[in-house]
Amino acid sequence: MIKHFFRMGMAGLAALSFLASCHKNEQPAPVPPTPEVTKYSLKPLSEMTLKEKVGQLFNVRPEILSPESTGYVTKGTEAMTDFFKDYPVGGITIFAGNITNPTQLKNFTSFLHDLGNYPMLCIDEEGGRVARIAKNTQFNVPVYQSMESIGKTGDSKNAYNAGDAIGTYLMNYGLDVDLAPVSDVNTNPNNVVIGDRAFGSDPVLVADMASQFLKGLKHAKVEGCQKHFPGHGDTSTDSHYGYAESMKTWEELSACEMLPFRKGIEADTKMIMTAHISLPNVTGEDTPSTLSKTILQEKLRGELGYKGIIITDSMGMGAITKQYSSGEAAVRALEAGVDIILDPEDFREAFNAVMDAVKKGRISMAMIDERVTRVLELKKSILQSRGLLK
């Protein structure tokens, strides 16, 4: 009996010994390597050349960096890197044609950010009919019928959630600024350009919805851009193709169109896009608001107290190109108070005209430095929010 228990004991010890040895020799599960996070530095204003400063005031399509291309550009090339050295633009706007699939877009935005001094990447992702990513079936992202449909719910939380959701996927794909929300009040039934892109025709509703959309974007670490100041909702023509105007007085605009912009400014909007519409009953002339000191400096900066970036709508639109050369329009926009010139019809002409205007004293270096400082501050804010600033 004793021998039997001894044998059982020895067997048990052997089993325990085997289990212990197995446990001892087990290898821990491999830990996947932490992906390397690229961090970026920004060149201080004091170290920038005039060319680098002027470059910060332009935002262009990727195709501008690739003059040899015959269609939309979807990947980086050595030629683009070389072009950027001569024309170091501060921002680039991605369009639907520049996007094929998620992997391509991530690679492309990474290439563009690496060009130097962190070009700020923008996109029109309003939700609805203007959505460069959401309308591409290769992407599994939220799709919205329109901002008007969100406005009809009457609940601004839905606008916040839309901004947060859109901002989240934009940030994941390397975009910095959403050129949204549309903050126009859609009061003119004959309007052919805004329509359901706006949250509605009630200025108080639009103000609530637009400000919450901005907050949703910001929560996702993406900056928004209110458009189109001073309001494109009461026009009956499309500034993409030619002259557009509103006959409202400033008092009428203040009671309607200005409400969303005022509330957006209270919500710390960092960027406002101009409309190329004329306001003859405000300015006494038919100059597009984009080129009007009265509208941008006296009204937006002065009366509304806005301190962020003013970016033009595309300077390749008919309301500009049918009246001004690319060079003259760019210079006039800066004189009016603009910080960023978007998509000029002839980029090199516009760039060189601004350079020449500074050298000849038409535009002061102090003005250039003031505008560039705003751009650099926004870039720094974006990078800091994402933990990407060196």
- Which residues are designated catalytic? 240, 313
Dist. CA 3–CA 145, nearest whole Å: 83
Dist. CA 54–CA 380, nearest whole Å: 18
Task: Report the side by side order of strands in the sheet with 309-311.
Answer: 226-229, 271-274, 309-311
Residues 6+ apart with CB under 8 A from 17: none
Dist. CA 83–CA 88, nearest whole Å: 8
181 prior amide bond cis, ω within 30: yes
Dist. CA 84–CA 161, nearest whole Å: 37
Look at residue 87 and give its three-state secondary structure: coil
Residue tagged 């002339």 (tokens):
285
CB 206 within 8 A of CB 259: yes
- Residue 81 in tokens: 């890197």
Tell me how crowded residue 381 is: count the other CB atoms within 10 A of its CB: 14
- Residue 256 in tokens: 């309607």
The DSSP code for 324 is S
Torsion, Cα 51 52 53 56, to 10 degrees, reads 120
* Separation in Å, CA 197 to CA 79, 148, 185, 187, 258: 37, 6, 10, 12, 17
